[in-house]
Structure 1
């Protein structure tokens, strides 16, 4: 029974990840995302695993692993829900799922990097 619940949750998450942009969640191309995160006090979050993060990340990003849900919620509760949050992952799927979760948690301005870190042309 537990396995069925896990599989159903996973499928719901995967198909729910294709949510369209709305007034709360916006998908930005890499150039617009780069311009938006220039501010020093921006809430920039990498939702990849710690190993992925260590292999390379956008400067000044905070790492909050999407797959560690208890820690994920706890760490995001520490952020300001009224300030914009900029998210990215490896390819864009996890960050879309994370954006949906943040919206449900009450975050009002969520920006997701189109194509994720794989599509980030400003590495190095």
Structure 2
């Protein structure tokens, strides 16, 4: 893990195999098109209102935050850490890198393969 400025960051290949929360902060249409099977979806704009939900879900596990390419997740990570909600880490490269690395993805759209919008 490294720190881009004050934002803790982790590469996709360095993600632990288990015992963490993968928080996807993309918009609903992006989520529906394709997301990691174990991810939790809270769009960036809803994060302040749903922070308590995330805190309960995470318990004592780290939260790794992902978006499309890393910008929104960096903002979410900074906010979560500054607000003391959870121990958050930005996932470098986002879902575009996840997809490029061949990581598993699922879609909420019928008969359409998962993709990153």
Q: For the residues of structure 1 that align with 2:23 and 2:35, how far apart are their CA atoms? A: 10
Q: 2:11 aligns with which of 16, 23, 29?
A: 29
Instruction: State the match for 1:83 in structure 2.
Output: 61
How many Å apart are 1:44 and its aligned residue?
1.3
How many residue pairs get matched? 100
Q: Normalized against structure 1, the TM-score is what?
A: 0.67
Q: Does 1:67 align with 2:67?
A: no
How many Å apart are 1:108 and its aligned residue?
5.6
**Distance of aligned partners of 1:113 and 1:94 in 2 relative to their CA distance in 1, 3 Å threshold:** same
How many Å apart are 1:26 and its aligned residue?
2.2
**In the TM superposition, what whole-angstrom CA distance separates every residue of 1:41-94 from its partner, at most 9, and x where no partner exists?**
421110111211111111200001002345443433433464311110001000
Stretches of structure 2 that go unaligned for 5 or more consecutive residues are 105-117
**Distance of aligned partners of 1:21 and 1:59 in 2 relative to their CA distance in 1, 3 Å threshold:** farther
Stretches of structure 1 that go unaligned for 5 or more consecutive residues are 1-18
Q: Does 1:95 align with 2:73?
A: yes
3-state DSSP class of the match of 1:52? helix
Q: Is the 8 A contact 1:43 1:84 kept in 2?
A: yes
Structure whose CA Rg is larger: 1
Q: For the residues of structure 1 that align with 2:91 and 2:48, how far apart are their CA atoms? A: 24
Q: Normalized against structure 2, the TM-score is what?
A: 0.70
